[in-house]
Amino acid sequence: MLRRLSLFITTVIIWQLTNSVTLARSNDPQQADSFPPSPLEITTPDPLVPTLRDKQQLTVAEQQKLEAALDELNQQATAKLQAGDNLGAFEIWNRELRLRRYLGAVAEVQALSRVGEIAWNQNDRQELQYITQRLQAIQKQAQPQNKNVQHSVDLPLLQALGEAYQKVRSLKSAITVYNEVLATVREKQDLVAQVNTLTTIGELNLNWFDYPQAATAYEELLRLATSGGENQNQQEFTYLQKLAYIYQQSKQAQKSIDVLNKIKAIYSQNNNFTQLPTLQLAIAANYEILARENPALIEAAFKNYQEAYITAWQLQQYPSAAEAVQKLISLYRSQGQLDEALQASEILLEIQTRAVNFYGLMEAYDQIGKLYLERKDSSAALAAFQKGLELARQLKHQEAYFTQQINSI
pLDDT at 28 over 70: no
**Identity at 336, one-letter amino acid code:** G
The predicted structure's pLDDT at residue 234: 84
Mean pLDDT confidence for 338-366: 96
Instruction: Give the pLDDT confidence of 223-249 residue by residue, as tens digits.
Output: 999 876 545 678 999 999 999 999 999
pLDDT at 6 over 90: no
The predicted structure's pLDDT at residue 18: 37
This prediction's pTM: 0.80
Alpha helices in 38-84 (DSSP H): 60-82
C-alpha to C-alpha distance for 280 and 304, rounded to whole angstroms: 6
Neighbour-count burial for 77-114, b at 16+ CB within 10 Å, e otherwise = beebbeeeebeebbebbbbbbbbbbbbebbbbbbbbbb
Query: Is 398 within 8 Å of 391 (Cβ atoms)?
Result: no
**The dihedral sign for the CA sequence 254, 257, 259, 262:** negative
If DSSP codes are grouped into helix, strand and coil, which group holds residue 79? Answer: helix
Query: Is 267 within 8 Å of 251 (Cβ atoms)?
Result: no
pLDDT at 207 over 60: yes
pLDDT at 1 over 80: no
Mean per-residue pLDDT over the chain, rounded: 88
Q: Supply angle C-alpha 324, 327, 331, rounded to 5.
A: 140
Instruction: Give the pLDDT confidence of 271-310 residue by residue, as tens digits.
Output: 999 999 999 999 999 999 999 999 999 999 999 999 999 9
Q: Supply angle C-alpha 108, 113, 116, rounded to 5.
A: 120
